[in-house]
Structure 1
Amino acid sequence: MNWTTKVWEQATPLYEKILAMPFNQELMKGTLPLEKFKFYMAQDAFYLREFGRALALIGGRLTKREHTLAFSEFASGAIVVERALHTGYFKIFGVDEDTVQPSPTCALYTSYLLAKAAIAPIEEAVGAVLPCFWIYKKVGDHIYANQQASMDNPYREWIDTYAGEAFATSVRKALAISDELAEDASPAQQAAMTEAFLMATKLEWMFWDSAYRLEIWEL
């Protein structure tokens, strides 16, 4: 059994909690309050900038040329492709992404990823960034398959992006690289890789939850 199969068995309860969250349930139905989606997109723009940095750091540390190239493509995708989605919404919302300050959860998540990308063993670093690919693809596919009044859903562009084939191609590459690294890793390294994946999955839950609560710094 490959590593991604094993880790998904452990992550499934977390994934099911993510699907059941009010944010994703209401996004699927098209009833999510615009204020919450606007907050989420602003935070996600900040997150993606830092996520792109983490991917670039990992790419520079990988030893196989094809892996380095893949992570370079992932980084450019986070910066160019997904930001195009944000730009469209920001024009509608009137948001200047350069003025966005990270929420406590966004700051925690991005700091975690950057630390793993910079100094953790490479297998662990890859495990930490994988949920942003895999969980989003799973959630996007689920919402796409179950969305109600799909033609009138105001969040259809978001849904189509993460349920789309272009994003699926990146996810498949990330999963294959993860399995390849895990195959060459020791049991202890695989365990650390799994721990990083599960922690980042929890942080994905926290990110959606913080957007639904419109989380702010209390100090």
Structure 2
Amino acid sequence: MVTGELRRRADGIWQRILAHPFVAELYAGTLPMEKFKYYLLQDYNYLVNFAKALSLAASRAPSVDLMKTALELAYGTVTGEMANYEALLKEVGLSLRDAAEAEPNRVNVSYMAYLKSTCALEGFYQCMAALLPCFWSYAEIAERHGGKLRENPVHVYKKWASVYLSPEYRGLVERLRAVLDSSGLSAEELWPYFKEASLYELEFWQAAYEGH
């Protein structure tokens, strides 16, 4: 399976993501709340642009079914995920206006520019290879650290993490992997996109931890 090979190649990057202090502390309940607030504001901006990238991917889809998949993901991001973020923002004393007015940091700007340009200029499957690390790495983070939630004293952290532990989310990741596995493309062809996005995921966590 091509996605399995991509994941194997990226393991050095992903192990750093899985062990990153931001996610380890978040699941343990020791992450300072100000760091989490900063992350939420940055990630809301990320989701807006992620939905745009998915919409661009839909225009590149080689079949109607794949176009539907991309559009369904874009719609789910705009509705479900953003509704969830609105609730999280309220719980930590922030508003949608705060999120809309927050200035994206340099990693966020670069990551979003990369995804949107890839989805606008490259092929559909190259775009999927660039989008998959976000979905998939969050699932692996949840698998790695989910056991800590039993002792986590911070309700909002547990609420945030529960999304990525759900069967629905895992099913979404498997669906995306299946799309890429059916591409007929080799890991060598897709690796540059998967690798770049994986590096951006790592940098996004680091920027959130540092607060800039």
- Matched to 1:70, the amino acid is T
RMSD: 1.5
SS of the residue corresponding to residue 103 of structure 2 reads coil
Match of 2:49 in 1: 50
Question: Is contact 1:125-1:193 (8 Å) kept?
Answer: no
| Superposition pairs of residues 36-185 of structure 1, within 5 angstroms | 36-92=35-91, 93-95=93-95, 96=97, 97-150=99-152, 152-181=154-183, 183=184, 185=185
Q: 1:44 Cα deviation (Å)?
A: 0.3
Distance in 1 between residues matched to 2:149 and 2:101, nearest whole Å: 32
Q: 1:142 Cα deviation (Å)?
A: 2.0
Q: 1:153 Cα deviation (Å)?
A: 4.8
| Superposition pairs of residues 205-216 of structure 1, within 5 angstroms | 205-215=202-212
SS of the residue corresponding to residue 147 of structure 1 reads helix
Question: Is contact 1:41-1:86 (8 Å) kept?
Answer: yes
Distance in 2 between residues matched to 1:202 and 1:51, nearest whole Å: 16
SS of the residue corresponding to residue 102 of structure 1 reads coil
- Structure 2: give runs of 5+ residues left out of the alignment: none
Judging changes above 3 Å, is the alpha-carbon distance between structure 1 residues 121 and 152 closer, same or farther for their aligned structure 2 residues?
closer
Cα shift readout 1:112-155 (whole Å, capped 9, x = no counterpart): 00000000122211111111111111112222134351465540
Match of 1:191 in 2: 188
Distance in 1 between residues matched to 2:158 and 2:21, nearest whole Å: 17
Q: 1:191 Cα deviation (Å)?
A: 2.2
TM-score (norm 1): 0.90
Distance in 1 between residues matched to 2:28 and 2:156, nearest whole Å: 10
Match of 1:204 in 2: 201
SS of the residue corresponding to residue 101 of structure 1 reads coil
Q: Once structures 1 and 2 are overlaid, which stretch shifts more, 92-101 or 32-41?
A: 92-101
- Structure 1: give runs of 5+ residues left out of the alignment: none
SS of the residue corresponding to residue 155 of structure 1 reads helix
